Amino acid sequence: MTGIELLLRQPITGVLDASPIKPRSLDPQGIGEVENLQVEVSGQQVSLAELFQVRATSVSAWVVQGDLPNSIRWGCGLKQGELIIEGNVGNEVGTLMQGGDLLIRGNVGNYLACGMRRGQIVVQGNAQDFVGGAMPGQRRGMSGGCVIVRGNVGDRAGDRMRRGTLLVGGDVGDYCASRMIAGTIAIWGKVGSQLGVMMRRGTVWAPQLDPNMIPLSFSQPQVVLLPHLMLWYRSLVTQDERFKSFVHREPMVTRWFGDLGSQGLGEIVSPI
Amino acid sequence: MFINRIEIEDTFAEAFGMKVTRLIITALEPHWARRAAEAVTGFATSVIACGVEAAIETKLEPSQTPDGRPGYSVLFFSVSTKELEKQIPRRIGQCVLTCPSTALFSGMQGERQIGLGGKIRYFGDGYQLSKIIEGKRYWRIPVMDGEFLCEDTTAVCPAVGGGNFLIIAADQRACLHACDMAAAAIEPLAGVIAPFFGSATRSGSKVGSKYKSLPASTNEAYCPSLRTVVPSRLESQDGAVLEVVIDGLTEEMVAQAMRLGIEAVCRLGPEGGIRKITAGNYGGKLGQYHFHLHKVLA
């Protein structure tokens, strides 16, 4: 199997739809096939070779070199393989992903991982609004997989999220976990206002939680022991070393149940 | 064949194909995990009337369990996946869910899955929650000491049940001591259980009965008290017979357990009251696995 490196020739004028760029197994003769791959820039079809210098590499991943803030839909519908982007990218990254790994070393725009089903996305920088939410027009957000954002995320993270895990290394904006159906969101930093509003089920885990950010429609806080967190902490140690400090602790948390105006089985927990 | 002057009869133990699953029970304290493990494997000596044959397989250190707490692994054998599916939820619902601080996990991997937490989650009466962690679903059932955590399903795999050997001794005391020796030799082995208490049963059975409703009845050929009135397999000095029964994940595991058990008994020698080792079979027509004692001990 041969990997590919795409080196940006010059900054792109217009918006690049990167959804056709998906890693797959290639023999050495497959380079030409990649060079001729048609992508859209502001609605115009161009070959990949016009935008990027394409090189074969010995690693299996496809690596994109360059800053691409005006590119969208990287890894959209990705099913397998590993795609690494060494820079900033725009909106709709990793939407509808069904497998594989996506690593973005810069920042990403809105709608990261919307409608994602399987696979893993790691963003080394920040992400904007609606991380793990629903695709426009859809009723349910991400339904599986794992999204890790090392930096901060914007508003409405996990909106209508159905299943899967979202780990945020930094802060989250307002309305995080709003209308959440199920799944787990871990937030290491601060949370914005209206956390979990209209949440039905699912878990928000936040060690730096400010109780003032929890809507009044949640229950009173209660200290409880949650055994499943032992498994959860252990499973996440490889993703974030900070979980290591929780592995050998008794999994006691302060918990708020809610949103009592909806199904009311969601939980916001803060480890003690 | 003789081992330490004990005759090993040239016969075979007849064993059957079974289905098995392994469960891991953990608790805050080891003795609470032990209590749950003993309860869930109680009344599970024989599939004839218990539905399953079950026992504790081994004690687990916190580093060996999914949640880092002390625990026990238990093995359940049954004649079919359907029967396991019927018996397991009933047992865990009454014996593990009820035991304070416990959690329950599957200890076996395989394609064929049966319900575990998925079957007893309704005890939560709508307050039960599920979490998927590393691709496995767990149920969190609210109970009076917090939450009972239980994996959704467990795998079922093919196994071998009914490996056995019979210890013929001069008297009951010698026979009991021999069983203790056999049990101690078999206990450390992974993947096998001896489902009867202390590894042995005194009510070794034959298939059928003069009473139509009974599927099995006493094996009179090995009953010392009937020696003079039935075609007996015992000699005049044989005072007691006990049968060690072994179920295992594989044929090799059962054979190894039989070998270690027989060797432990034979170490007692004739001076320990041991007279002969033989095995139980049904003429070779019922079970697909034949453990020839001479081959097992070769």
Residue B137 vs residues A139, A267, B132: alpha-carbon distances, Å: 23, 18, 4
> What's the predicted TM-score (pTM) here?
0.90
Phi, psi angles (nearest 5°) of residue A34: -70, -40
| CA separation for the pair A141, A198 (Å, rounded) | 14
Residue of A nearest to B138 (CA): A228
The answer to whether B263 and B297 are in contact (CB under 8 A) is: yes
According to the model, what pLDDT value does residue B197 have? 84
| CA separation for the pair B204, B192 (Å, rounded) | 20
| CA separation for the pair B133, A255 (Å, rounded) | 20
Pairing of strands A143-149, A163-168: parallel
Q: Taking CB atoms and an 8 Å limit, are A248 and B149 in contact across chains?
A: no
Q: Taking CB atoms and an 8 Å limit, are B67 and A235 in contact across chains?
A: no
| CA separation for the pair A113, A129 (Å, rounded) | 11
b/e for B202-240, b at 16 or more Cβ within 10 A? bebbeeeeeeeeeeeeebeebbbeebeeeebbbeeebbb
Angle, alpha carbons A172-A173-A178 (nearest 5°):
95
Residue of B nearest to A232 (CA): B133
Residue B59 vs residues A36, B127, B289: alpha-carbon distances, Å: 61, 32, 29
b/e for B109-121, b at 16 or more Cβ within 10 A? eeeebbebbbbbb
Helix residue spans in chain A (DSSP H)? 31-35, 48-51, 228-236, 244-247
Residue of B nearest to A266 (CA): B129
Residue B211 vs residues B126, B216, B217: alpha-carbon distances, Å: 48, 9, 9
Neighbours of B61 (CB within 10 A): 11
According to the model, what pLDDT value does residue B93 have? 95
Q: Taking CB atoms and an 8 Å limit, are A184 and B131 in contact across chains?
A: yes
Chain A nearest-CA distance from B106, in A, is: 14
Tokens of A137: 């027009």
A81 pLDDT tier (thresholds 50, 70, 90): very high
- Chain A interface test: which of B97, B130, B131 (most A C-beta within 10 Å): B131
According to the model, what pLDDT value does residue B252 have? 96
Residue of B nearest to A163 (CA): B132
- How many residues are present in chain B? 298
Residue with tokens 């044929």: B251
A56 pLDDT tier (thresholds 50, 70, 90): confident
**Which pLDDT tens digit goes with each residue over A151-201?**
999 999 999 999 999 999 999 999 999 999 999 999 999 999 999 999 999
Pairing of strands A62-65, A82-86: parallel
Residue with tokens 């760029």: A21
Torsion of CA A123, A125, A128, A134, to 10 degrees: 10
According to the model, what pLDDT value does residue B128 have? 95
The answer to whether A102 and A79 are in contact (CB under 8 A) is: no
According to the model, what pLDDT value does residue A28 have? 64
Chain A nearest-CA distance from B127, in A, is: 7
The answer to whether B293 and B2 are in contact (CB under 8 A) is: no
Residue B118 belongs to what H/E stretch? helix B117-120
Q: Taking CB atoms and an 8 Å limit, are B146 and A234 in contact across chains?
A: no
Q: Is B144 on the interface with A (CB under 8 A)?
A: no
Pairing of strands A3-8, A52-57: antiparallel
| CA separation for the pair B261, B196 (Å, rounded) | 14
| DSSP one-letter code for B9 | -
Q: Is B38 on the interface with A (CB under 8 A)?
A: no
The answer to whether A62 and A85 are in contact (CB under 8 A) is: no
Q: Taking CB atoms and an 8 Å limit, are A230 and B69 in contact across chains?
A: yes
**Which pLDDT tens digit goes with each residue over A220-272?**
999 999 999 999 999 999 999 999 999 988 899 999 998 999 989 999 999 99
* pLDDT at A31 exceeding the cut of 90: no
Angular region, B84: left φ>0, alpha ψ -120 to 50, beta rest:
alpha
Q: Which residues of chain B have pLDDT under 70?
A: none
Angular region, A209: left φ>0, alpha ψ -120 to 50, beta rest:
beta
According to the model, what pLDDT value does residue B207 have? 85
A1 pLDDT tier (thresholds 50, 70, 90): low
